[in-house]
Amino acid sequence: MTPVVTKKITDYTDSELIARYLRDQNTMYFTVLYRRYAGKVFAKCISMLADEGQARDATQDIFIKVLLNLAKFTEQSSFSTWVYSITYNYCIDMIRKKKKMPLLFTEDVGKVSKETDPEIPDSVLLEMKQERLEKVIDRLPPGDKAILMMKYIDDMQIKEIGEVLGKTESAIKMQIMRAKQRSQAIYDELYGHDPIEQ
Amino acid sequence: MKNNFQQWQSDFESVPPEIEDRVLQQARTFSAFGKVVEVFVPNALGAVALMIGGEAPPRPTQYGPGAHLDDDVPLWRIPPGRGF
């Protein structure tokens, strides 16, 4: 007789946890989902809002939104992408409300590069020392920051980023290019005198 | 292996425990509310669907006092002298 192997709740996939939570209304399934993603959501909120107190409130609000909208999750994207898109949009909305004239993207700043400008390779950002990268990213407009985080932290596809921000793929490609150029410009401004230690 | 962006992000991933308490407290409240609704309005979804446009289910036959029951009366209930 073969022994019955029961799966631990922490081994359930996101979809299994959601289906069971919606069927049984048992909070232990939601608790596992929360513990799986709370750290990443909190980190994104701190990076976007640059304020720990606001990031705490935002994390709480975001998970309540997730809970209330769980039945609407259609699995067109992965659960993580869905949670992160709620997170980015929530943070961008908060920044919009906080500042009357928000500069969300580089193009809002006014100094827009042309399509013919040279493309900055990914390695320029990915080879920066972490503390320098942190300072460069802190100076970016929130929209650019969000776009670079989606690309380099969450490994989202251009199409997915477009769905999160409600923009076309070509617009997102252009904004990634501008965000990289702006990062390079900030880096040169901050560390132009000491460029060796990237 | 994490890149420098992911490494930078992982430095902020420790969530204060009180956030978990608050979120899960809310989750328990919603869950309890959902269960209360289910107790007081069993088959709530079905009832709403019928109200919106479905057909009402067939109702069981109800007889008033003195109703003519000839066809329904089983043989063993026919009073003596009235049958056969």
pLDDT digits (tens, 9 = 90+) for A137-181: 999 988 899 999 999 999 999 999 999 888 999 999 999 999 999
Residues of chain A with pLDDT > 90, as a percent, come to 57
Q: Which residue has the higher pLDDT, B30 or A1?
A: B30
Contact A42 B20 (CB under 8 A): no
Report pLDDT for A74.
Answer: 86
* Structural domain includes residue A105: no
- Same domain? For A146 and A68 the reply is no
Residue A112 counted as domain residue? no
Same domain, A132 and A65: no
A98-A47-A121 Cα angle (round to 5): 115
* CA–CA distance, A123 with B10 (Å, rounded to integer): 20
| Same domain (yes/no): A83, A150 | no
Could you list the residue range(s) of the whole structural domain that residue A65 is in? 9-99
pLDDT for position A121: 87
Assigned domain for A118 exists: no
Residue A178 to residues A96, A103, A130, B54: CA-CA distances in angstroms? 21, 14, 21, 56
**Same domain membership, residue A93 and residue A135:** no
Interface with A, mutate which of B6, B13, B15 (most A CBs under 10 A): B15
- Mind telling me how many Å the CA of B21 is from chain A's nearest CA? 10
Q: With respect to residue A90, please indicate whether it lies within any of the assigned structural domains.
A: yes
pLDDT for residue A194 is more than 80: no
Is position A82 within any domain? yes
Which pLDDT does position B70 carry in this prediction? 58
Binned at pLDDT 50, 70 and 90, residue A123 comes out as: confident
CATH number of the structural domain spanning residue A135: 1.10.10.10
pLDDT score recorded for residue A108: 53
The rounded distance, in Å, linking the Cα atoms of A121 and A91 is 28
**Are both A68 and A138 inside the same structural domain?**
no
Task: Give mean pLDDT in consecutive 10-residue pieces for chain B, a chain of 84 residues.
Answer: 89 92 91 70 62 63 61 64 62
> Are B9 and A44 within 8 A, CB to CB?
yes
Chain A residue at shortest CA distance from B1: A153
Q: Does some domain include residue A80?
A: yes
Q: How many domains does chain A have?
A: 2
Secondary structure letter of residue B60 according to DSSP: P
A20 and A81, same domain (yes or no): yes
What is the pLDDT, as a whole number, of residue A100? 55
Q: What is the pTM of this model?
A: 0.76
Domain boundary among A99, A133, A159: A99
Q: Domain check: are A93 and A139 in the same one?
A: no
- For residue A113, being part of any structural domain is answered with no
A73/A153 same-domain check: no
Based on the fold, state whether residues A183 and A141 are members of the same structural domain.
yes
Verify that A88 and A169 share a domain, yes or no. no
The reply to whether A39 falls in a domain is yes
- pLDDT-derived band at A38 (thresholds 50, 70, 90) equals very high
Same domain, A17 and A94: yes
Query: Is the domain of A93 the same as that of A127?
Result: no
Shortest CB distance from A31 goes to which of B6, B11, B24?
Answer: B24
| Domain-terminating residue out of A48, A64, A99 | A99
Chain B contact residues (CB < 8 Å to A): 3-16, 19-20, 22-24, 26-28, 30-31, 34-35
Ranges A14-28, A102-116, A141-155, A176-190: which has the least confidence: A102-116
For residue A51, give the CATH number of its domain: 1.10.1740.10
